[in-house]
Amino acid sequence: MSRHQDARVSSEDDPGAPPARGRRAAGPVAGESGPVLLAMSGLTRVHGEGAAQVRALDEVDLQVRLGELVAVMGPSGSGKSTLLNLAGGLDTPTSGAVALAGEVISDLDARKRAALRRRKVGYVFQDFNLIPALTAAENVALPRELDGVPLRTARSEAIAALFEVGVDDLADRFPEEMSGGQQQRVAIARALAGPRRLVLADEPTGALDSVTGEAVMRVLRARVDAGAAGLLVTHEPRFAAWADRTIFLRDGRVVDATGDDAPEHLLSRSR
């Protein structure tokens, strides 16, 4: 069975082997090189002032194409979450630019960025960020409702996304009634509900056992193969192996990369 035929996560799933790095499935949109969805250039983010200044990201260039899943690895504090926050328009760069489908989002005001994010970006936060007073299904449906999708549509999209990650039976539970791994899967469902083109996932497998983690990777991979672009932060090489390529950050800089698009000087160092 191909990894596309049943992307649904269940506890019985055989995690299977990840595809060979760089291999792409012949999905409807996934080609050898889809159009660039996310383009970041000269991206720098400095936090704080004076002596307390931290250069969280330093002149990073990165492009992610439709049909492409890029893993981001690096030690704690190397700038991985900062990179995702900038990619999704949750934060603005000190210098440099972020473009989403050709639109420079780093120039937009906060309200326009939020609207664009709700429509185009699915975000799995490192700490889930579920709203405690809402059930799983309500949490997943909320961003879509805020974007003007009718309640019933948002609800059925939510149930479908919860099904995809294997927790549709928990639709009416509140976050505090779920395990960490279950909450994480609800957070992933929220990022996948509706037609989001860019999926940003900050350690989406951190609270999952290895079988569920692999199954979640299969769902992410299938979504990307079906015509989205993904940026995945992970500390685990076995999850990064699901990506088309991996970039390595240290002290806010890209210090290494794999795959066809890696700059020549980085490839020669990594091989």
Ligand X SMILES: Nc1ncnc2c1ncn2[C@@H]1O[C@H](COP(=O)(O)OP(=O)(O)OP(=O)(O)O)[C@@H](O)[C@H]1O
If binding is defined by CB under 6 A, does position 221 make contact with ligand X?
A: no
Which listed range, 4-12, 78-86, 213-221, 222-230, lies at the site for ligand X (CB under 6 A)? 78-86
Beta strands in the chain (DSSP E): 36-47, 54-65, 69-73, 95-100, 103-104, 121-124, 198-202, 229-233, 245-250, 253-257
End-to-end CA distance of the chain: 33
Q: What gap in Å lies between CA 23 and CA 10, rounded to an integer?
A: 25
Exposure of 35 in the CB half-sphere (CA atoms within 13 A)? 6
Residue 69 CB, nearest approach to Mg ion (Å): 18
Q: Which does 156 bind (CB under 5 to 8 A by kind): Mg ion, ligand X, none?
A: none
Q: What gap in Å lies between CA 245 and CA 234, rounded to an integer?
A: 13
If binding is defined by CB under 6 A, does position 269 make contact with ligand X?
A: no
Q: What gap in Å lies between CA 64 and CA 105, rounded to an integer?
A: 15
Residue 184 CB, nearest approach to ligand X (Å): 15
Which listed range, 69-77, 101-109, 172-180, 261-269, lies at the site for ligand X (CB under 6 A)? 69-77
If binding is defined by CB under 6 A, does position 47 make contact with ligand X?
A: yes
Q: Which residues inside 180-219 make contact with ligand X, applying CB under 6 A?
A: none
Size of the site for ligand X (CB under 6 A): 13
Binding residues (CB under 5 A) for Mg ion: these are 81
Binding residues (CB under 6 A) for ligand X: these are 47-48, 54, 56, 74, 76-82, 126
